[in-house]
Every structure is written in structure tokens, then in C-alpha cells.
Amino acid sequence: MAINGIDSSRIESMLAQIRAATQKPAMAPVAETTPASNTQSTPKVDFAETLKASLNQVNQSQLEAERLGKNFAMGDDSVSLSDVMIAGQKANISFQATLQVRNKLVSAYQDIMNMQV
């Protein structure tokens, strides 16, 4: 059944994607260091690798949004306008979040550099 030109199954699909995206963590959890008395060994997470993986994920979402936009503009019937807009918004939100993380890192670096020793 179409509601104002959009199929209700497409709406349900979009809602399911949004729900899944809100439940999925944005970055890998950071492992805490434990005292030597603990017999379980927790894997150490490399900050640089985590940051690089996050940046690659943002880049992939932007490339996907661009690809969908081009396919829609070329008249590909398998790509709908809603898919293009959702992919573009996902890419924009992930880029804005990355930008805020970068700003916080720069601010923390400047605070550390301004500390008196």
C-alpha cells in the first residue's frame, strides 16, 4: 500500500534500519587495564587503530552516499530518493561526530601543552 507515493514496506524498512543503527555502537569498546592479580587477560585496544577504523567507516559511508546519489541521478530504478537522502544524512551525521571528536582531541592537546611542569 502506497502512502503519499512511498510504499509502506519501504517505511518499515527505513524504521528498522534506524532502530538497528541506534542499537549498534559507533566505535569498538575500549578495554580497561586490570591489575596483575586478575587472571583474565583483556585484549588491549590500540587507540590509533580504533581511530583509523572509525575514519575509514566515515569515509565508506560518504562514498556510499555519493554512489547512491550518482546512481539516482543517472536514473537507476533500484535506488529511491529516500535511500539517497538517508545515506546522505548518515554520512553527514558521522562526519559531524568525527569533527567533534577531532575538536575535543585538539582542545585536550592544547590544554596539556599549556600545563606548567
Each residue's pLDDT tens digit in the chain (117 positions)?
555 556 677 777 767 777 776 676 555 555 555 455 555 677 888 888 988 999 999 999 999 999 999 999 999 999 999 999 999 999 999 999 999 999 999 999 999 999 987
Q: Is residue 114 part of a domain?
A: yes
Q: Is residue 80 part of a domain?
A: yes
Q: Is residue 82 part of a domain?
A: yes
Q: Is residue 21 part of a domain?
A: no
Three-class SS of residue 114? coil
Q: What is the pLDDT of residue 24?
A: 62
Q: What is the pLDDT of residue 35?
A: 52
Q: What is the pLDDT of residue 113?
A: 93
Q: Using CA atoms, how far apart are residues 28 and 54, in angstroms rounded to an integer? A: 9
Q: Is residue 106 part of a domain?
A: yes
Counting the structural domains of the chain, the total is 1
DSSP 77: T
Strands (E), 26-111: none
Q: Is residue 35 part of a domain?
A: no
For residue 98, count other CB atoms closer than 10 A to its CB: 17
Q: 91 with 64: CB under 8 angstroms?
A: yes
Q: What is the pLDDT of residue 43?
A: 80
**Three-point CA angle 16, 7, 94, nearest 5°:** 40
Q: Is residue 102 part of a domain?
A: yes
Q: What is the pLDDT of residue 48?
A: 87
Q: Using CA atoms, how far apart are residues 76 and 97, in angstroms rounded to an integer? A: 31
Q: What is the pLDDT of residue 16?
A: 75
Three-class SS of residue 42? coil
Q: Is residue 33 part of a domain?
A: no
Task: Provide the residue range defining the domain that includes 83.
Answer: 45-117
Q: What is the pLDDT of residue 25?
A: 58
Backbone angles phi, psi at 96, to 5 degrees: -65, -40
